[in-house]
Amino acid sequence: MTIWIVRVGQDLYIRSADGSRSAWFRGALASNQGRITVDCIAKEVMLELANPKLNDEIDEAYRSKYRHHPATYINMMISSEARSTTVRVVPRPTNS
């Protein structure tokens, strides 16, 4: 599955374009964990609901990063439904 991820400050955020009815979002909320793969590098992460006070900054990060995509997609990611599913991605501690 492809997700659109943005950075605000030092933190990474993802949203469900389909809102809370999305299967991946429900699973993420239930387990509070996941795995993100970028360029064949996989990292285990913890997922936590983001502070809603950051939604405007996160919206702007989506607009900026994905500005070359059709507005339809960006509008889905900054909708009130998507905003309600904003999740902060936190690296999971490794056992060493």
Domain with 26 in it: what CATH number? 2.30.110.10
Structure confidence at residue 1 (pLDDT): 61
Contact 49, 86 (CB under 8 A): yes
3-class SS of residue 32:
coil
Radius of gyration of the chain (CA): 13
The answer to the question of residue 40 being in a domain is yes
Task: For residue 10, give Cα distances in angstroms to 3, 13, 33, 90.
Answer: 19, 10, 19, 10
Task: Report yes or no on 96 lying in a domain.
Answer: no
Give me the domain span that covers residue 73: 5-91
Q: Is residue 61 part of a domain?
A: yes
Strand partners, 34: 45
Number of domains the chain contains: 1
pLDDT in tens, the chain (96 residues): 668 899 999 999 999 998 888 998 999 889 999 888 888 889 999 999 999 999 999 999 999 999 999 999 999 999 999 999 999 999 888 775
Q: What is the pLDDT of residue 32?
A: 92
pLDDT of residue 69: 96
Whether 52 is in a domain gets the answer yes
